[in-house]
Structure 1
Amino acid sequence: MTTTRFAPSPTGYIHVGNLRTALMNYLIARKASGTFILRIDDTDPERSKEEYVDAIKQDLEWLGLHWDRVERQSDRLDRYAEAADKLREMGRFYEAFETPTELDLKRKKQLNMGKPPVYDRAALNLSAAEKEALRAERGNGVWRFKLDHERIEWNDGILGGISIDAASVSDPVLIRGDGQVLYTIASVVDDTEMGVTDVVRGSDHVTNTATQIQIIQALGGDCPRFAHHSLLTGPQGEALSKRLGTLALRDLREQGVQPMALLSLMARLGSSDPVELRSDMAELIDGFDIGRFGAAPTKFDVQDLFPLTAKHLQSLPLADVADAVADAGVPAELAESFWAMARENITTLADLKGWWDLCRDGAEPLIADEDQAFIAEAVALLPEGPFDGETWGAWTKAVKEATGRKGKGLFMPLRKALTGMERGPEMATLLPLLQVIRARG
């Protein structure tokens, strides 16, 4: 069975970059009628916060990305300890004691000599006595996985054939000196024991994937299928990392972005397929193909979400937005006609209040000097209420016959006098909602 996972660290809110990973893994699982695991990677006790765990779940639920089960790495520390012991017994795990300053000096020396800045494995030459002395002086060392210096190869679901020389990569640190288990080994153990078959993540993980493949093999596990999606940039190709703090999903939600608009964009962004607004999750799942995505950096512009949001809102019946319409202050008896008017003229649901304010309170008339007499004559011809969808047509016909005005010269001054705006909804649907005019009628 196809099994995927989304494995956020609860050290902050989910942003659009995280969402891309979550959505791809979710769609792969659902398209194969498989399992989607939400795995909380919370092995860092200092930075992991329960409030972020709750926030991650809330954001995924808002989007409709429902998980089949939740796992937490903090509940599985004994499994990582067992894996570490196994690697030690195999001679693939060793303790190293260099300080960050010493490692930095080593890297600079290697670069000056034209060599790749990889760890030189000096710790492998330490005697037991030397290790004891270093522990007494510096505390426990870090634990590194000893890579086999051979080529690591896999067929990536997006990037194609990948081949990395393990000799060009430092032996990865899997456990810190303070005992904290790092992502690399925890992820391997979890993916193996949870039967994860497909892993989609950012292209910044390619080297990490290479080392994880060797760890998986050392522990006797089966390697999942890997795919590495491109990283997002800003609309001008600039690094997005500095702006991700303003692109948290909860911030987008606060700005009025609709879930289906966001999902429709992210399910196609960076692929060879055009972005198309989808009506529901089933359409997203059916149209998803990981092989259609490319490796080039992908431009993301938050402004692209708002036309999609507007288009999505236009497709919704009143039942789906009834709470928002009521919150805008619209009386229940006018809700249906109000939504029919407003739906074509809003970008987000927050815009509803402005339209109801106009309907309830009217607007400052916008009347040119040369139109003063015309407007006075037109208002005198306004029929008695109640108004309905036919009122505007009947009124403007009467005004045309009385004044001789037609076309833009007829309709525009009336619109501006009633709404204070040159553009807006169809007046036939708006006029019956204008409470001040209704009272006049």
Structure 2
Amino acid sequence: MIKVRFAPSPTGYLHIGNFRTALVNFLFARNVNGHFMLRIDDTDEERSSLEYEEAIKEDLSWMSMNWDSLERQSSRLSNYDDALETLLDKKRAYPCFETAEELSLKRKGQLSSGKPPVYDRSALKLSDSDIADLKSKGKKAHYRFLLNHTDVNWDDLVKGPSKYNMSNLSDPVILREDGRVIYTLASVVDDIDFKVTDILRGEDHMTNSAAQIQLFEALGSSAPRLGHLSLLTDISGSGLSKRLGSLSLRDLRQEGFEPMAISSLLSKVGTSDPIDIYKDIKKIIKEFDIKKFGKSKPKFDKNELSNLNSKFFQLMDYEDVINKLKIMKLDMTKEFWYLIRGNIKILEDVKVWINVCFGNIYTKNIDAEFISLALKLLPQDQFNENTWLTWTNLLKVESGKKGKDLYKPLRLCLTGQDNGPEMASLISIMGRDKVIERLSFDT
């Protein structure tokens, strides 16, 4: 069975880029009836919080992304200790005692002499007695994984044939001096233990993946299949910053964006498929194919997301939204929903149109003489969808106005809006008394 994992750190809210990774993994698994695991990477005790973990789960649930299993790295620390011991026994891990300041000086020296800033492996020269002596003096070791300086090759699910020469990479730290395990090791141990078959993540993990392939092998396992997605950029091509709160799922939700608008965009951006709105996730799952993702950097356009959000409401039947409207304590008829749904960008806009039809609005005085004539010519013997045509035909003859000169001032006066639903249906719902009220403002 195909098994994938989404592994967020509970150190903040889900950012749109990180969520895209979750969505791709979810769609990949569901497309083949596979297993989608949520793994909370909470080994950083200082920065991790239960509040953020709950927020991540709440956001995924809001997006209708159910997980098949849940694991926390904080409950598996002994597994990582065992893996480190295995690597030490195989001479594929070694202790280092340089401080952060000493390592920084080394890097500066390498750069100034034109050398790549790769760790020089000086700690490998330490004898057992050297190590014991340093520890007796209170020095704490961090541990590195000893890379084989060879080419690492893999057939990437997105990038195709990929290669990295490990001599260009420092031996990665896998355990900090304070005893905290590094993602590089913990993730590999988890993927082995939970039998993950495929890893889908951002292209910023390419070099990390190369090192982890050797880690898998050193721990007696073969690496899962790997796929590295091109990272989202903003519309200008710049990288999306996680510091931009407006690009967290939580804030998008508060702004009124619908889950299916977000999923419709993020499941297709960067693929060969056209971007369009979907009414539910099932069709997106059915159409998903990891091979459709390209190598170029996809752009996240919030305006495009807004357009999809509007299109989503145009697809919504009255029965689809009635429960949401009840939660908002909004009562409306089916007729009213079908009239206004084409003018809804977010569900809160429903309140605007309820107020337009039944509340108090500021009516713009475009042409007092014309509006006075309109009030005088308002038909007395009928008030339904035919009223608008009868009324505007009379006005056209009496005022000499036509086109936007005729219709725009009426719309502005009656609704306070530059555009909106068909006026024939709108005034029928508003009723004669409300129309007269709007036409009778103090000029």
TM-score by length of 2: 0.92
1:224 and 2:224 equivalent? Answer: yes
**Distance change >3 Å, CA 316–CA 134, structure 1 → 2:** same
Deviations 1:190-242, CA, capped at 9 Å, x for gaps: 11111111111111100100110001001111211101111122111123226
Q: What pairs with 1:78-227 in structure 2 (closer than 5 Å)?
A: 78-227=78-227
- CA distance in structure 1 between the partners assigned to 2:161 and 2:288 by the alignment: 22
Q: Tell me how far apart the structure 2 counterparts of residues 86 and 416 of structure 1 sit (CA, whole Å).
A: 76
Q: What amino acid is aligned across from residue 70 of structure 2 in structure 1?
A: V
The yes-or-no answer on 1:414 pairing with 2:414 is no
Matched, 1:423 2:419: yes
Query: 1:329·1:353 contact (CA, 8 Å) conserved in 2?
Result: no
Equivalent position of 2:74 in the other structure: 74
CA distance in structure 2 between the aligned counterparts of 1:154 and 1:300, rounded to whole angstroms: 29
Contact 1:174-1:181 at 8 Å conserved across structures: yes
2:309 maps to 1:309? yes
Superposition deviation, residue 186 in structure 1: 0.8
Q: Taking structure 1 as reference, are residues 436 and 97 closer, same or farther at Cα in structure 2, changes over 3 Å only?
A: farther
- The alignment-based identity, stated in percent, is 45
Equivalent pair of 2:261/2:309 in contact (CA under 8 Å) = yes
Q: Give the conservation status (yes or no) of the 8 Å contact 2:15–2:242.
A: no
- Give the match's secondary structure for 1:192: helix
CA RMSD in angstroms comes to 2.3
| Unaligned residue ranges in structure 2 (runs of 5+) | 438-443
Distance 2:215 2:436 in 1: 79
Given that 2:84 and 2:93 are in contact with CA atoms closer than 8 Å, whether structure 1 keeps it comes out as yes
Q: Following TM superposition, by how much is the alpha carbon of 1:245 offset from its aligned partner in structure 2, in angstroms? A: 3.1
- Alpha carbons 1:16, 1:248 under 8 Å: kept: yes
1:295 CA displacement: 2.2
Once the two structures are TM-superposed, the CA of residue 114 in structure 1 deviates from its matched residue by 2.8
Alpha-carbon displacement from aligned partner over 1:220-276 (angstroms, at most 9, x marks no partner): 112111011111221111232265433100100111111111111111111232212
- 1:357-436 aligned at under 5 Å gives the runs 357-363=355-361, 364-379=363-378, 381-383=379-381, 387-396=383-392, 408=404, 410-434=406-430
Larger mean Cα displacement after TM superposition, 63-72 or 284-293: 284-293
SS of 2:162 mapped into structure 1: strand
User: Does structure 1 residue 27 correspond to structure 2 residue 56?
Assistant: no
1:437 to 430, 433, 436: 433
Aligned to 1:353: 351
Separation in structure 1 between the aligned mates of residue 135 and residue 245 of structure 2, nearest angstrom = 40
CA contact (8 A) 1:362 1:435 kept: no
- CA deviation string 1:293-315 (max 9, x = no partner): 22222221222210000000111
Unpaired runs of 5+ in structure 1? none
Residue 268 of structure 2 corresponds to which residue in structure 1?
A: 268
| Alpha-carbon distance change, 422 to 162 in structure 1, aligned in 2, over 3 angstroms | closer
Residues 9 and 373 of structure 1: is their aligned pair in 2 closer, same or farther, counting only changes over 3 Å? closer
Deviates more, 1:404-413 or 1:199-208: 404-413
| Match of residue 341 from structure 2 | 343
Query: Aligned residue for 1:239?
Result: 239
Deviations 1:3-33 (A, max 9, x none): 1110000000101110111011111101111
Relative to 1, partners in 2 of residues 1:74 and 1:435: Cα closer, same or farther, differing over 3 Å? farther
- Alpha-carbon spacing, 1:147–1:85, altered in 2? closer, same or farther (3 Å): same
Structure 1 pair 323–439 and aligned structure 2 pair: CA distance change class (3 A): farther
CA drift of 1:398 comes to: 6.0
Alpha-carbon separation, structure 1, partners of 2:96 and 2:180 = 15
How far is 1:135 from its partner? 2.5
Counterpart contact for 2:213–2:222, Cα < 8 Å: no
User: How far apart in 2 are the matches of 1:439 and 1:104?
Assistant: 75
Secondary structure of the corresponding residue to residue 348 of structure 2: helix
Q: Distance in 2 between matches of 1:394 and 1:198?
A: 66
Asked whether the 8 Å contact 1:234–1:300 carries over to 2, the reply is: yes
Q: Any conservation in 1 of the 2:245–2:251 contact (CA below 8 Å)?
A: no
CA distance in 2, matches of 1:246, 1:400: 48
CA contact (8 A) 1:203 1:231 kept: yes
What is residue 295 of structure 1 aligned with on the other side? 295
Q: 1:325 to 1:365 in 2, by over 3 A?
A: farther
**Structure 2 residue aligned with 1:254:** 254
Which residue type is aligned with residue 166 of structure 2?
A
Q: Please tell me the residue identity of whatever aligns with 1:337.
A: E
Aligned residues: 436
